[in-house]
């Protein structure tokens, strides 16, 4: 059985691209979904990643993964990055590559090189190749800056905020247009690492008949990965003329209510949560994004959980379901 049902309602109906779409961080969760949607929509695309590893993409796309063009590249290497973009005559860049919160904390200098210098290289590549369609992943963690506000401060958030300001300067000084998107908490198949992956891991645990405890509760953003992927693609479906940053939220729901939706699918689950609030905002306004780029599909929490459970269940039957990560 194919997992095409995951993206059937997310396919792009009109190809508005006159060249391939470059996706950095292609081996990550959102990157894998974007490549799947573009490929199934018949839109040429090229994945860029530091590694040849395509485990997440293979979960979603299966044996068609080999049909995706893939380039191994370190985004801190401007020359290599520009050569790839030029050689494919790319029309758009979706920039997702970066190190997440715990990796930035473990090695701040490396985090800055990858997350800040890497994004500068993306903008510089767009400048030198005259690309007018660039979207980059900022983060809700950027709202933790400046310090002493209501939300948790992290190095990751500081780097993301730096990228937003850098992108604005690239527009102001050199007319390099871009959109920065701050995704809230993303869940769905292939979301397997970081402090915000716990709701996805709970769904996976239910399928694997394992107990699982989410270390927080309360209101929480449930942003389905397919909805996030569509937002990034829609952002570069036409030429941009400025440099803006927008929130991307999904649906606001409590963790406990999310667990109850899982229990409605599988009454034998052993899932729980601690009474600890998540340290990032649970509900942000993403209407400005929709008004700026045009509409894209919304996925309810119920539908997102049902599809994710069904996908893990199918992978389990096929012997392809990954082990539950920590």
Confidence check: pLDDT of 148 > 80: no
pLDDT of residue 143: 87
pLDDT of residue 276: 86
Q: pTM value?
A: 0.96
pLDDT of residue 145: 65
Percent of the chain surpassing pLDDT 90: 88
Tens-digit pLDDT profile for residues 50-64? 999 999 999 999 999
Map out the domains of the chain with their CATH numbers.
Answer: 4-183+225-249+281-299 (3.40.50.720)
Mean pLDDT of the chain: 95
Confidence check: pLDDT of 236 > 60: yes
Strands, DSSP E only, in 226-289? Answer: 243-248, 251-254, 271-273
Residues 183 and 140 sit within 8 Å (Cβ to Cβ): yes
Tens-digit pLDDT profile for residues 271-309? 999 988 888 888 999 999 999 999 999 999 999 999 999
First vs last C-alpha separation in the chain = 28
Instruction: Check the CA dihedral 325-59-300-153 and report its sign.
Output: positive
Confidence band for 246, pLDDT divided at 50, 70 and 90: very high
98-118 exposure pattern, b = at least 16 Cβ within 10 A, e = fewer? bbbbebbeeeeeebbbbbbeb
Q: Which two tokens stand for residue 31?
A: 């990157």
* Three-class secondary structure of residue 283 per DSSP: coil
Confidence band for 152, pLDDT divided at 50, 70 and 90: confident
Confidence band for 149, pLDDT divided at 50, 70 and 90: low
Tens-digit pLDDT profile for residues 73-82? 999 999 999 9
């Amino acid at each position: 059985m194919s997992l095409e049902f995951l993206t059937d309602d997310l396919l792009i109906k009109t190809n508005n691209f006159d060249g391939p779409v470059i996706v950095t961080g292609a081996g990550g969760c959102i990157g894998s979904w974007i490549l799947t949607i573009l490929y199934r929509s018949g839109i040429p695309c090229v994945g860029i990643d530091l590694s040849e590893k395509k485990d997440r993409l293979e979960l979603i796309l299966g044996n068609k993964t080999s049909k995706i063009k893939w380039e191994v590249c370190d985004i801190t290497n401007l020359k290599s990055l520009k050569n790839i973009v030029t050689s494919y005559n790319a029309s758009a860049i979706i920039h997702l590559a970066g190190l997440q919160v715990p990796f930035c904390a473990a090695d701040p200098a490396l985090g800055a090189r990858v997350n800040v210098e890497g994004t500068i290289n993306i903008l510089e590549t767009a400048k030198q190749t005259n690309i007018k369609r660039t979207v980059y992943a900022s983060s809700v963690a950027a709202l933790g800056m400046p310090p002493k506000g209501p939300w948790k401060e992290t190095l990751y958030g500081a780097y993301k905020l730096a990228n937003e300001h850098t992108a604005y300067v690239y527009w102001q000084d050199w007319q390099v247009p871009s959109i920065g998107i701050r995704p809230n908490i993303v869940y769905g198949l292939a979301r397997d690492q970081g402090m915000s992956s716990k709701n996805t891991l709970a769904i996976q645990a239910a399928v694997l008949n394992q107990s699982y405890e989410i270390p927080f509760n309360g209101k929480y953003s449930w942003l389905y990965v397919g909805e996030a992927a569509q937002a990034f693609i829609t952002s570069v479906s036409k030429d941009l003329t400025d440099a803006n940053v927008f929130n991307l939220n999904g649906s606001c729901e409590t963790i406990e209510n999310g667990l109850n939706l899982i229990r409605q699918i599988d009454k034998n689950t052993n899932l729980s949560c601690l009474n600890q609030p998540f340290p990032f905002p649970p509900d942000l306004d993403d209407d400005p994004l929709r008004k700026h780029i045009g509409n894209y599909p919304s996925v309810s929490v119920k539908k997102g959980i049902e599809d994710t459970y069904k996908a893990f269940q199918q992978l389990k039957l096929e012997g392809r379901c990954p082990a539950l990560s920590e």
